[in-house]
């Protein structure tokens, strides 16, 4: 794998801590059994299309990965809407002020800020109704969140050791080339879960991620509700998306 552009900005941990947490809306003990393995990136054996969406040239990964999430939602519930470089860069421009003709404006984006903007500013013609954070150190919660909400929008503090790697895993330590964020920050769409590996969409392809690596190097994660994923205001298995949206308004300031 080549080394492509990154673009996620470091999370605002103080602000992030105030956001609604998915564990407040999902009682794992009362849910139907979450499959041990699932992959939202295909339907009836036909894989969806996830492109580079400009992330080989620009630091638009928070918006490119949002386009990938929309592709999953629409593909699983109707006709897949495939994101393009134009879609990602249009959102990057509207959300951050980026301009292709001015390299000084290519400064990446903060995922939490994008999430708030996405409530009212469409990406690929779609807004979200609500969002919540996911504790990425809890494999049970990550699996449930990904299953119920069609994936997890995942932020990373990438170690230099992952440059050119075909799989993201842990190393002998978290120093040197294995230090979190020593390469930089990145955003992906996590859409595959299995007992040993996750799968994230990034740079137009699938990257396997070990369970320990997710806990070590993911620095933020979100689920979102969208009309393409909700049925009568609820996510699969009955999570109340409308209640989540109402609670989000209480902390939106």
**Tokens, residue 132:** 């919540």
Reply yes or no on whether the pLDDT at 12 is more than 50. yes
In tens, the pLDDT along 109-166 reads 999 999 999 999 999 999 998 888 999 999 988 998 898 889 999 999 999 999 999 9
Q: Where are the alpha helices (DSSP H) in 97-191?
A: 111-118, 139-149
The pLDDT tens digits of the residues spanning 55-81 come to: 999 999 999 999 999 999 999 888 889
Question: Is pLDDT above 50 for 251?
Answer: no
Structure token digits, residue 53: 């969406």
How many angstroms separate the CA atoms of 180 and 217, rounded?
A: 6
Q: How far apart are CA 225 and CA 127, in angstroms?
A: 9
Whether residue 233 contacts residue 241, with contact meaning beta carbons closer than 8 Å, is answered with yes
Across the range 87-99, mean pLDDT stands at 98
Closest CA to 201 of 8, 40, 92, 77: 40
- What average pLDDT does the chain have? 89
Burial degree of 140 (CB within 10 A; 0-12, 13-18, 19+):
exposed
Do 115 and 131 form a contact (C-beta atoms < 8 A)?
Answer: yes
User: Residues 222-234: what's their mean pLDDT?
Assistant: 82
**CA pair distance 241, 237, nearest whole angstrom:** 11
Residue 252: predicted pLDDT: 46
Give the span between the Cα atoms of 247 and 177, in whole angstroms: 41
**Residue 235 pLDDT exceeds 80:** no
Q: What integer pLDDT is reported at residue 78 of this predicted model?
A: 81
Higher pLDDT, 229 or 232: 229
* List of domains in the chain: 13-251 (3.90.70.10)
């Amino acid at each position: 794998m080549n080394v492509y552009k990154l673009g996620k900005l470091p999370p605002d941990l103080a602000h992030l801590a105030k956001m609604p947490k998915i564990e407040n809306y999902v009682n794992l003990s009362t849910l139907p059994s979450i499959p041990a393995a699932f992959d939202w990136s295909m339907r009836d054996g036909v894989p969806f299309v996830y492109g580079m969406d400009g992330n080989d040239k620009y630091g638009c990964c928070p918006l490119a990965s949002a386009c990938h999430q929309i592709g999953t939602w629409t593909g699983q519930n109707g006709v897949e809407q495939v994101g393009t470089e134009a879609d990602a860069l249009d959102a990057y421009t509207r959300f951050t002020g980026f301009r292709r003709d001015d390299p000084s404006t290519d400064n990446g984006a903060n995922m939490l800020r994008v999430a708030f903007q996405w409530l009212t500013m469409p990406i690929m013609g779609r807004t979200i109704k609500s969002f919540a954070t996911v504790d990425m150190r809890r494999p049970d919660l990550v699996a449930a969140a990904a299953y119920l909400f069609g994936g997890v929008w995942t932020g990373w503090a990438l170690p230099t050791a992952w440059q050119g790697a075909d799989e993201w895993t842990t190393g002998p330590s978290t120093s040197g080339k294995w230090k979190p964020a020593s390469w930089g920050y990145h955003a992906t769409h996590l859409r595959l879960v299995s007992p040993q590996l996750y799968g994230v969409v990034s740079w137009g392809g699938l990257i396997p991620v070990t369970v320990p690596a997710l806990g070590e190097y993911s620095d933020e994660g979100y689920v979102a509700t969208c009309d393409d994923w909700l049925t009568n205001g609820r996510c699969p298995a009955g999570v109340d998306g409308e209640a989540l949206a109402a609670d989000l308004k209480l902390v939106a300031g």
